[in-house]
């Protein structure tokens, strides 16, 4: 196997790693190492990229990490697959020194800024991948890696622990590299001091500066993740629940949830069922009976 052609070398300050621009053969690059952070690739985008490449368009280099024996693809899956579709032999790549884990960390945040918009499902998938890979990292750290809200990470963690996909750690590593008991992240304010805010809502809070989602004031010793506006976070959560990306039971945890949210969530479940699903007519009839009963009560 011949060596890749080195085009240039720079230092990428965002990753604090030495980086070389190289022409890599497609068959040198591992795309099956679990470093794809999206739920799925977009075939329309791949076709569009492939056509543009044939017309002479120049695309930015992909990003790969080299551990001494293997190149792990970190960013540029659609560009890689487009080049593969065109039966190209090589592709330009930013090559960093690092392992599969380094490539994954790069990949989880890369999709937040590249050309193809991340769906809510993609964001959730990134958080779940990171939690499976680093369950002992705090929600704030995972959120920073994936470029998502700490609250999304918190909800993903709770769901994954409930489904036994990951274990609940007794301690997590914060952004400062120190170990903290997981209970500190989840305790409501007003009780014990919270050392690290993971963006979770206070279960017993009732508004005010410390209530709801997002961050609050910074106490001595705290390493807090940037807070967000609680209404914006809740609106995003309600949208995800309506679209079926979070269990409908999560609505009960949102103070801003309305009757319309519950109704839309139920309709969304029905709309996801196939028209020929034998359970669908029964579900519709059950709703019709409920509506008829409610009409009688009102009259």
- DSSP secondary structure string, the chain? -PPPEEEEEEEETTTTEEEEEEEEEGGGEE--SS---SSS--HHHHHHHHHHHHTTPPPPPEEEEE-SS-EEEEE-HHHHHHHHHTT-SEEEEEEEE--HHHHHHHHHHHTTTSSSPPPHHHHHHHHHHHHHH-TTB-HHHHHHHHTS-HHHHHHHHHHHHHTTSS---SEEE-TTS-EEEHHHHHSPTTSSPPSS--SPPPTT--SSTT-SSS--PPPTT--PPPP--HHHHHHHHHHHHHTTSS-GGGGGG-TT--HHHHHHHHHHHHHHS-TT-THHHHHHHHHHHHHHHHHHHH-
When the candidates are 3.90.1330.10, 3.30.465.10, 3.90.660.10, 3.90.1530.10, the CATH number that belongs to 5-110 is: 3.90.1530.10
The reported pLDDT for the residue numbered 25 is 95
Q: For residue 276, with 0-12 CB atoms within 10 Å meaning exposed, 13-18 middle and 19 or more buried, which class applies? A: exposed
The reported pLDDT for the residue numbered 232 is 54
The residue among 241 and 93 whose pLDDT is bigger is 93
In this predicted structure, the answer to whether residue 32 has a pLDDT above a threshold of 90 is no
Sheet strands side by side (includes 90-97): 5-12, 17-25, 90-97, 62-66, 71-75, 29-30
The reported pLDDT for the residue numbered 102 is 93
Q: How far apart are CA 229 and CA 149, in angstroms?
A: 11
Confidence (pTM):
0.55
The reported pLDDT for the residue numbered 161 is 92
Q: Mean pLDDT, the chain, as a whole number?
A: 74
The reported pLDDT for the residue numbered 295 is 65
User: Average pLDDT, stretch 127-134?
Assistant: 93
The reported pLDDT for the residue numbered 241 is 64
Residue 240's contacts (CB-CB under 8 Å, 6 or more residues apart) are: 120, 124, 246
Query: Which range (25-34, 93-102, 156-165, 201-210) has the least confidence?
Result: 201-210
Most confident range (mean pLDDT) of 7-16, 158-167, 190-199, 243-252 is 158-167
In this predicted structure, the answer to whether residue 261 has a pLDDT above a threshold of 70 is yes
Query: Which range (194-203, 229-238, 280-289) has the least confidence?
Result: 194-203
**Within 10 Å of residue 64's Cβ, how many Cβ atoms?**
28
> pLDDT digits over 230-240, tens only?
555 566 666 66
Return the half-sphere exposure (C-beta side, CA atoms, 13 A cut-off) of residue 147: 14
> pLDDT digits over 212-227, tens only?
323 333 333 333 333 3
The residue among 213 and 275 whose pLDDT is bigger is 275
Query: Which range (76-90, 92-106, 108-122) has the least confidence?
Result: 108-122
Q: How far is CA 273 from CA 231, 264, 268, 277, in A?
A: 31, 14, 9, 6
Q: How far apart are CA 231 and CA 293, in angstroms?
A: 34
Which band of pLDDT confidence, cut at 50, 70 and 90, is reported for residue 120? Answer: confident
The reported pLDDT for the residue numbered 182 is 72
Q: How far apart are CA 290 and CA 299, in angstroms?
A: 14
User: Average pLDDT, stretch 108-137?
Assistant: 83
Which band of pLDDT confidence, cut at 50, 70 and 90, is reported for residue 14? Answer: very low
Q: How far apart are CA 141 and CA 76, in angstroms?
A: 24
> pLDDT digits over 54-82, tens only?
999 989 999 999 999 999 999 999 999 99
How far is the first Cα of the chain from the last one, in angstroms, to the nearest whole number? 82
User: Average pLDDT, stretch 168-196?
Assistant: 63
The reported pLDDT for the residue numbered 281 is 84
The reported pLDDT for the residue numbered 234 is 60
Q: Please work out, in degrees rounded to the nearest 5, the angle formed at the alpha carbon of residue 160 by the alpha carbons of 114 and 168.
A: 115
């Amino acid at each position: 196997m011949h060596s890749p052609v080195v085009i240039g070398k720079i230092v990428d300050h965002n990753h604090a790693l030495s980086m070389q621009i190289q022409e890599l053969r497609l068959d040198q690059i591992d795309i099956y190492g679990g470093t794809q952070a999206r739920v799925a690739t977009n075939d329309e985008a791949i076709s569009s990229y492939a056509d543009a490449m044939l017309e002479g368009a120049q695309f930015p280099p992909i990003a790969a990490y080299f551990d001494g024996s293997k190149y792990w693809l970190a960013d540029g899956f659609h560009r890689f697959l487009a080049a593969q579709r065109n039966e190209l032999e090589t592709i330009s790549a930013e090559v960093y020194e690092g392992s599969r884990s380094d490539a994954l960390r790069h990949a989880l945040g890369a999709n937040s800024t590249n050309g193809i918009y991340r769906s809510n499902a993609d964001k959730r998938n990134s958080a779940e991948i990171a939690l499976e890979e680093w369950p002992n990292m705090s929600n704030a750290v995972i959120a920073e890696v994936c470029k998502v809200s700490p609250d999304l990470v918190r909800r993903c963690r709770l769901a994954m622990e409930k489904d036994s996909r990951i274990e609940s750690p007794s301690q997590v590593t914060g952004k400062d590299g120190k170990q903290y008991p997981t209970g500190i992240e989840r305790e409501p304010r007003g009780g014990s001091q919270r050392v690290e805010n993971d963006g979770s809502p206070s279960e017993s809070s009732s508004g005010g500066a410390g209530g709801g989602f997002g961050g609050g004031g910074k106490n001595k010793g705290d390493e807090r993740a940037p807070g967000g506006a609680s209404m914006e976070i809740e609106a995003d959560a309600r949208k995800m629940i309506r679209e079926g990306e979070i269990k409908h039971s999560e609505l009960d945890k949102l103070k801003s949830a309305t009757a319309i949210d519950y109704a839309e969530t139920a309709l969304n479940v029905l709309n996801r069922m196939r028209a020929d699903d034998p359970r669908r007519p029964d579900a519709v009839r059950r709703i019709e009976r409920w509506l008829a009963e409610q009409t009688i009560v009102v009259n």
